[in-house]
Amino acid sequence: MAGSLNKVLLIGRLGADPEIKEMVNGKSVARLSLATSQSWKDKNTGEKKEKTEWHRIVVFNEGLVNVVKQYLKKGAQIYVEGQISTRKWKDEKSGQDKYSTEVVIQGYNSSLTMLGGGNSSSLSNQDSTQSIENTSQASQNDLDDEIPF
């Protein structure tokens, strides 16, 4: 369809250590649980409110998977650019169709950037190459939320 765009940009913190698995074709895939939070002050009570959204991030690029495995841990702040994808699968126990919506980091114009700390770097998958660039430091916020999935 001409004139459409599937692009997701997120900055958040990992709610758990990355999960690395080997696919049937022998390549590795990384799965990340990313939390993004929004806070505001309630106009009526003056009370501070916060809402956290959880995002499933899937990294297929082999070079980025190795970097994720080596450097990312629970609590790390990252910036991701990817595409949103919904996949259908069958629950083995109930036999019912289930759906998972994920942000996929694969192919041209996808990237993962580690934020915070003095040695920040940007890792992208443009033309199947990795590049490392300096990025600005970001503030550290504690993440105490439970992962809902």
Q: What is the percent of the chain where pLDDT is above 90?
A: 66
The Cα 118–Cα 139 span in angstroms is 12
| Ramachandran area for residue 103 (φ above 0: left; ψ -120 to 50: alpha; else beta) | beta
Residue 145 has pLDDT above 80, yes or no: no
Burial track 133-145 (b if 16+ CB lie within 10 A, e otherwise): eeeeebeeeebee
Residue among 107, 127, 112, 128 at smallest CA distance from 6: 107
Average pLDDT of the segment spanning 69-94: 93
Q: Report pLDDT digits (tens) over 28-60.
A: 999 999 999 999 999 999 999 999 999 999 999
Is 126 a residue whose pLDDT tops 80? no
User: Is the whole model's pTM more than 0.85, yes or no?
Assistant: no
**129 Cβ neighbours under 8 A, 6+ residues apart:** none
CATH of 8-38+50-125, one of 3.40.50.2300, 3.40.50.2000, 3.30.1300.10, 2.40.50.140: 2.40.50.140
pLDDT for res 129: 30
Question: What is residue 117's predicted lDDT score, i.e. its pLDDT?
Answer: 57
DSSP string over 15-71: SS--EEEE-TTS-EEEEEEEEEEEEEE-TTT--EEEEEEEEEEEE--HHHHHHHHHH
Residue whose structure tokens are 């459409």: 4
Q: What is the pLDDT of residue 2?
A: 77
Predicted pLDDT of residue 142? 37
Q: What residues does each domain of the chain span? A: 8-38+50-125
